[in-house]
Chains A and B, each alone.
Chain A
Amino acid sequence: MHDNTVLGPQTSSAKLGRVFIYAILAFLVLFYLMPLVVMLLTSVKSMADIRTGTLISWPKEFVFDAWGKAWSSACTGVACEGVSGYFFNSIKIVLPAVLISTFLGALNGYVLTKWKFKGSDLFFGLLLFGCFIPFQVVLLPMAQTLGWLGLANTTAGLVLVHVVYGMAFTTLFFRNFYVSVPSELVSAAKIDGAGFFTIFWRILLPVSTPIIVVCVIWQFTQIWNDFLFGVVYAAGDTQPITVALNNLVNTSTGVKEYNVEMSAAIIAALPTLLVYVLAGKYFVRGLTAGSVKG
């Protein structure tokens, strides 16, 4: 860990340098915040206010009609029932998919580190390929398979897809974490006669909280934000919120209601933003896990 003081200011020209640093940072902060601010401001303006004002002008008066309309009566394609139904679709997809993929990832990571067998390392290498393939290369066969299984256009179908293609990541997370758990603990328990599942429940899971948090946050944001699988494998009222939002924004009929679009966008963003604000530290840790060592 390096001590930042060594890089600190020493002369008056360095002090001027610090003013510059803060000025540049302030400018960058504004750039990164702008879309969120613009979305929030636009969502509480009336359409008349939007037409006469500018992007960042303060609302003449705060109107929340657009929020209500986005939630319950805006048109997303053919249906005009707002995005609420699709919001709950996303929840119905995310919850089981996150739980199942995290649990399987934990079991896989446990086997791949503490119960290695011939070929298990090779298998792990092969599984990692799943983290890198462009999903376009599996879209068509999966569409056909879901059809055969009778899961096309169902929530269960999307859960299956997310579990299958999330597995490589969750296994990677848990495997890398369990490598650092001393194997002596496991060997000692084996000598004491503890079985496979006893060791998992009593020894591994109790120390897994940090990686479970990382894994859940990662999977939650990935699955909530997914658009590709949603747009290909869901239709009509089984679509997730991202697809509904896109339909809402790209509906060409009628007057464009930017305030409704922005409200819907914020509704779609809210769960992951909330997760990020509440558990941001772990989110960053999850993002950087495996990329930066030491």
Chain B
Amino acid sequence: MQVVTAKVKKKPLLDLVADQIPKLVLSPTILMTVVFIYGYVIWTGVLSFTKSSFLPNYKFAGTLQYEKLFENDRWGVAVDNLFVFGGLFILICLALGIFIAILLDQRIRAEGAIRTVFLYPMALSFIVTGTAWKWILNPSLGLERLVKDMGFENFTFDWLVNTDMAIYTLVIAAVWQSSGFVMALFLAGLRSIDSSIIKAAQIDGASLPKIYLRIILPSLRPVFFSAFIILCHIAIKSFDLVKALTNGGPGYSTDLPATFMYAFSFTRGQIGLGSASAMMMLAGVLAILIPYLYSELRGTRNA
């Protein structure tokens, strides 16, 4: 008798626990997300309104750090650099990626092997590729020397150590690293297009370039936007490549917001200013992301 009642009482309790299992399983992630993502963003936000220097200091300082940030010449250079670097990087990556994808879409022999060559840079760390490009762009031993030895005695290529040109060496290395990824996105997109549309256009007498420009590429708009967002994201986060290739130099001519934030937060002991620069980076990402997500959500609702 006692045994039976015990069983009857126990079962609903077990069921109750069982009902909660999915939530329990998800709870560590929920906790981590709340603390390590949202909590920390708020924390950094708070730090950016304080006088924190070498150690966090929670005396409210109003917008002091932001004022200091915008007056800081080095930050100005970093933001300008981001626009120059990011703009060129995104533009060239997209153009080159689409171009290579279209070439590879023409029934190319050994396509698999060629695709592998375009994509392998993606597998490498920016620190590795930065090291490789630093060697290639070395003014006295690298490319300059190679061209000089080919008989062009007056050839100079010293971008890496030239204050005005060093930022473009970052573009070269970053494009080399990321354009293969854009190619892969577009190739996947091209392969998913219905061939009957293209056949119909060909019967109508449209030329191949016209078919690509007027029919195929416009239908790949979603791929285009995905690639754009991912490239923006890579550009804003660029840190490793700068560290390995130029280390921000000469002087601070190739600083980007990411390297600025690191320098001020961890080597110069200006945590408040570093936090303000990190919040500005976040604002930059959100400025791109929110309109994108908004249009994505609206797009799926309409469809």
**Residue positions of A touching B, CB distance < 8 A:** 1-8, 18, 21-22, 24-25, 28-29, 31-36, 38-39, 42, 50-51, 54-56, 104, 107-108, 111-112, 115, 117, 120, 123, 126-127, 129-130, 132-142, 144, 164-165, 167-168, 171, 195-197, 221, 224-228, 231-232, 242, 245-246, 249-250, 258, 261-262, 264-265, 268-269, 272-273, 275-277, 280, 283-284, 287-288, 291-294
Contacts and interface: CB of A to CB of B under 8 A. Distances in A.
B247 A250 contact: yes
Contacts of B32: 164, 167
Given A38-B135, A134-B236, A227-B243, A280 B194 contact: no
A136 B29 contact: no
A53 to B, nearest CB: 9
A210 to B, nearest CB: 16
Contact of A293 (B22, B176, B222): B222
Given A7-B106, A138-B36, A262-B131, 4 more contacts: A18-B106, A51-B141, A136-B278, A268-B127
A287 B105 CA distance: 19
* Size bracket, chain B contacts: 35 or more
B36 A56 contact: no
Interface string B279-303: 1011011000100000000000000
Contacts of A245: 127-128, 131
A287 B181 contact: yes
B124 A273 contact: yes
Nearest to B239: A228
A268 B125 CA distance: 8
Determine chain B's interface SS by DSSP, over half rule. helix
A134 B133 contact: no
B132 A38 contact: yes
Contacts, number: 277
A151 to B, nearest CB: 13
Contact of B274 (A130, A140, A168, A283): A140
Most buried by A among B22, B56, B190, B193: B22
A54 B145 contact: yes
Contacts of A242: 125, 127-128, 240
B9 interface: no
A196 B20 CA distance: 10
Contacts of B279: 137
A32 B180 contact: yes
B129 A7 contact: no
Contacts of B26: 107-108, 111-112, 120, 123
Given A134-B236, A288-B188, A4 B105 contact: yes
B252 interface: no
Contact of A134 (B104, B240, B281): B281
B166 interface: no
Interface string B163-198: 000000000000010001100110011111111001
B192 A1 contact: yes
Contacts of B22: 111, 115, 117, 196
Contacts of A138: 36-37, 40-41, 44
B230 interface: yes
